[in-house]
Amino acid sequence: MDSVGYTYVFKDVNNNQPMVDEMMAEVKAYNYKEYINLPVVIVNKEHFFSGPEIGEVVQAINQ
């Protein structure tokens, strides 16, 4: 996200159980049932990605 100049909110889940719980609630809300890869990226509360390529995220932002 830095490399393409987009603003984002970073939430560190390392050693932070409340952030892990928040992330898992988001994952469940999107009915994502596969293995979770970090980063988890949510664009405009419409698109959910687990370990995405930057191109996927940029395309979702530009929709």
Chain Cα centroid distance, residue 1: 11
Q: Which domain holds residue 23?
A: 2-61
Answer yes or no: pTM beyond 0.85.
Answer: no
pLDDT, one tens digit per residue, over 3-20 is: 888 899 999 999 999 999
Chain Cα centroid distance, residue 5: 17
Residue pair 43/52 in contact (Cβ under 8 Å)? The answer is no
| Domains: count for the chain | 1
What is the residue type of 24? M
Our CA dihedral for 15, 53, 8, 1, rounded to 10 degrees, sits at 110
Residue 59's pLDDT is: 95
